[in-house]
Amino acid sequence: MKIFAVGMNYIEHNKELDGTLYKPKEPVIFTKTDSALLKPGKPFFLPDFMGRIDYEAELVVRISRLGKGIPVQFAHRYYDAVTVGIDFTARDMQRRLRDAGSPWEVCKGFDGAAAIGKWIDIQTFRDVQTLHFRLDINGATVQRGHASEMLYGIDALIAYISRFFTLKTGDLLYTGTPAGVGAVHINDCLEGYIEDCKVLILNVK
């Protein structure tokens, strides 16, 4: 199983990171290790030696077919379910790595850094690219996203990634986070929603 993730895919999030309305010329793709996937029902343990850890709520799609070089018009055939995931990020470390021009794997792919909720069949929805999602922490909404605001939509991302990597059944795609990211703390309770359906509940320890 491979975990693909997309950086800088919502313009308002890009603004909160560096103060500019930056739009990358191509999707910004990175990967997480398989050990980054947090097992369902397990808490997220803060790695206190890594500095500030931020939550980034995202729509995640599950790849359902083997594919390589997928045309964008056929990309919708290659995923079968959607959920909300959390791309945990060691923010202080990420800034240091970015300033040095170094890869992000350590700050994005550490153990437990990829949480996912329960899957919903995409046939449940008229169009996944019109979905609303949100993240609540301790009962207060901290992030709201709408899939239509992605700079690169789900089908375009799948087509792009499949130019370089063979997609396999069970691979995951984190599609980017909207504005509103922030630090997590011990005893926080994170709840993720697609429309009005709660798909994720996660405790921080």
**Which SS3 state, helix, strand or coil, does residue 63 take?**
strand
Mean pLDDT over 73-82 rounds to 98
User: What pLDDT score was predicted for residue 17?
Assistant: 75
Q: Is the pLDDT of residue 98 over 90?
A: no
pLDDT tier, 133 (very low <50, low <70, confident <90, very high otherwise): very high
What's CA 19's distance to the chain center, in Å? 21
Measure the N-to-C terminal CA separation of the chain; round to a whole number of Å. Answer: 27
User: Residue 180 sits in which domain range?
Assistant: 3-204
Q: Are 204 and 48 in contact (CB under 8 A)?
A: no
Per the document, the length of the chain is 205
Q: Is the pLDDT of residue 15 over 90?
A: no
pLDDT tier, 42 (very low <50, low <70, confident <90, very high otherwise): very high
The total domain count for the chain is 1
pLDDT tier, 33 (very low <50, low <70, confident <90, very high otherwise): very high
Strands (E) across 66-195 are located at 79-87, 89-90, 114-116, 120-121, 132-137, 140-146, 172-174, 182-183, 189-194
Q: Is the pLDDT of residue 12 over 80?
A: yes
How many whole angstroms separate alpha carbon 39 and alpha carbon 22? 34
Q: What is the tens place of the pLDDT at every residue in 149-188?
A: 999 999 999 999 999 999 999 999 999 999 999 999 999 9
Q: Tell me which DSSP letter residue 33 carries.
A: -
Structure tokens at 147: 């899939």
Structure tokens at 100: 């040095």
Residue with tokens 């449940």: 124
How many whole angstroms separate alpha carbon 30 and alpha carbon 24? 14
The CATH code of the domain that includes 23 is: 3.90.850.10
User: What pLDDT score was predicted for residue 132?
Assistant: 98
pTM for this prediction: 0.96
**Strand 132-137 with 140-146, pairing:** antiparallel
Point out the least confidently predicted range of 7-16, 171-180, 194-203: 7-16
pLDDT higher at 16 or 140: 140
Which of 174, 184, 186, 127 lies closest to 6, judged by CA? 174
Q: Is the pLDDT of residue 1 over 90?
A: yes
